[in-house]
Amino acid sequence: MKIAIAADHAGFVLKEKLRRTLAEDGHEVKDFGPASADSCDYPDYAQPVASEVAAGRADRGILVCSTGIGMAIAANKVAGVRAAPAVSEDEVRLTREHNDTNVLTLGARYVDAEQAWKMTSIFLHTGFAGGRHARRVAKIAQMEQAPGSQK
């Protein structure tokens, strides 16, 4: 699977661990930075990952910041992206099954490397349930194209 990944300074260490583990697991990983834990602005890193996923150049995206919330807000500004922050394996499973999320955002403040890898693995291997959920996801896509939409 092709994975786009990035972080901000707060998520840098966890991003690096996930990047290595993803590559070891056989995934093609495109790292959008940063290259260090120096202070930086999370939207600068969320945007290229979200754009890569929305354009179909990556199958999924993973973003890491302090809470996962800022990255999700920024990534969701890109049309075609459904990003969700999660702190539990159950949340990750449900957001894939019910919302067909294509970007997972993690909070380095709340998950350690082992938990983050378990959640990432669930994110990559859980399918979309479709059915009634497909109708709801389609409504989200319609919102992106509605008059007054910011996307």
Active site positions, annotated: 65, 98
Instruction: List Cβ neighbours of 149 (8 Å cut-off, separation of 6 or more).
Output: 143
Specify the length of the chain in residues. 151
Instruction: List Cβ neighbours of 6 (8 Å cut-off, separation of 6 or more).
Output: 15, 31, 32, 33, 34, 45, 46, 48, 49, 62, 63, 64
